[in-house]
Chain A
Amino acid sequence: MSGVLDRFRSLPSVQVTLAVALLVLGFLIAAQIAAEGPRIRYTTEERAPLIETALRLQGQQEALKAEILAIRARISELEAIDPSAAASLRRLYADLEQARLDAGLIAVRGPGVAFRLEDGTTGSVDSLVSARDIRTLVEELWLAGAEGIAVNGERIVGSTAVIDIGGSILVNSAYLAGPYTISAIGPPDMYERLQQSVAFVEFVRGRIEPSGVRLAVAEGQEVDLPAFAGTVSLRFAKPGAGGE
């Protein structure tokens, strides 16, 4: 034992440094390869301008959404009714505020749960979180009594589509990368209801567990959901009876 130690002490420091550096290098190379496993990294020249364009459009999207929320807030202030106004006008304003709340156009807070879906580390395509996974979880939460849901800060409304783009997801036309947080406000027993759902149990046992996708849940907490910041204008659908 002491012979080994003596031999180690006699090694030039440069060799020790080299050995440590090579060890770190090995880890980094392994990490790089693991990270690129299922999501193949393309390095063609044509991608650079495409990424720049996508980034520019994402920036514009965020600015437009912020503008929509700001104008809606100003409209809401302009529409606010003086307490001395006629009762019919005050009722009309109350109906409008209620419709905004029902439609998901107002940011809300309440008790709920938050799920986190994250790609697995097995390296297989199956271990990537898909739009179908998000949709399944959202549908199960609705069935368990959720009153409002958001995915990575995108409020789920009646017009929301959740689709795959490569290994990432588009929600309300917003590009989201994992991990994905699905937050829902609902009754106190929402998580228990979820666990009793045959479809949810099948989703966890048949999809999540075998694939290596990571699913975590935080329950019993206050959840904040943002307002929907997209379009509510209709081009083809015209209000019929009961629209007034």
Chain B
Amino acid sequence: MTTTTVKSVHGGNDAARLTSRVSVTLVAVLLGVLAVGQFRGQAGVPGLSNLSAAELTQLIANLTTGNDQLRSEVAELSRQETHLAEVKERGETTVNELTADLQRIRAWAGLTEVSGQGIAITVDGRIGGDGVEDLLNELRNAGAEAIAVDGVRVVAGVVVAGAPGALSVENHAIPSAFVIQAIGSPQILTGTLTRTGGVIAQVTATYEDVRLTVTPIESMTLPATEHRTTPSYAKPRL
């Protein structure tokens, strides 16, 4: 009788031990899966896994366009390098090549006047500096090659700032009605700005009294910047 009782107690302990081991194993497996998930999530490309399919599609479109531009730049630079090497091989001076390169860089950086087709955005009403900067950002995103606000060339370091009615750029007061000019593809610039839910819709939702009109322009000339671009503190890194 006693023996039977002992046996049954032992049998109960075995069952409990088995249940505990199974529980521990299950929890351990679950822990492992979660831990791997966490590590993978952090070790992978940050942020990509958080994008929706639509956002990934938008990213791919942006990367594709950007890479096409970079390939064109590589091709242009390679052509320039080959030509330079040939000129030097012939023992000729590189005056023409240096001049062309200088002209190209200065035009791109806004250090010289440039001309071309593009668009004009007529702004009429009280708008804040942030609203104008949103428009400029979208113009850059759409591939604008040169921009001027109320006749002032916008380059790196130039900011349109101020509250509605007190806008200024480069110490130049901007009136309540002014024009933003941008050189680039008129179709792409217009399409990007005026698309449904685009920047014009957003800016006019924030600044309800502002009227924005986009007009394609056949030819325009934008002045060189007067902004000081030569650095005093930043030195070339060797």
Contact = CB atoms under 8 A, between A and B. Distances in A.
A150 B45 CA distance: 21
B24 A47 contact: no
B137 interface: yes
Contacts of A25: 27, 30-31, 34
Given A25-B34, A109-B234, A148-B231, A92 B74 contact: no
Contact of A79 (B27, B71, B97, B231): B97
A217 B91 CA distance: 53
Interface stretch (A1-9, A38-46, A208-216): A38-46
A39 B185 CA distance: 35
Interface string A207-244: 00000000000000000110000111111111111111
- The size class of the interface chain B forms with chain A is 35 or more
Given A21-B28, A240-B112, A175 B156 contact: no
A237 B183 contact: yes
Interface string A183-210: 0011100000000000100000000000
A136 B105 contact: no
Contacts of B185: 236
**Interface centre among A29, A40, A132, A238, by most B CB within 10 Å?**
A238
A240 B78 contact: no
Interface string A21-55: 11011001101100100011110101100110111
B44 to A, nearest CB: 9
Interface in B34-64: 34-35, 37-38, 41, 45-53, 55-60, 62-64
A178 to B, nearest CB: 7
B107 A165 contact: no
B52 A142 contact: no
B195 interface: no
B231 A110 contact: yes
A194 B99 CA distance: 39
Contacts of A28: 31, 34-35, 38
A91 B17 CA distance: 88
B67 A14 contact: no
A231 B69 contact: yes
Contacts of A99: 102, 105-106, 109, 111
Contacts of A64: 67, 70-71, 73-74
A141 to B, nearest CB: 9
Given A54-B60, A103-B111, A240-B112, 10 more contacts: A40-B52, A71-B74, A102-B230, A159-B145, A175-B59, A177-B47, A234-B107, A238-B115, A244-B99, A244-B102
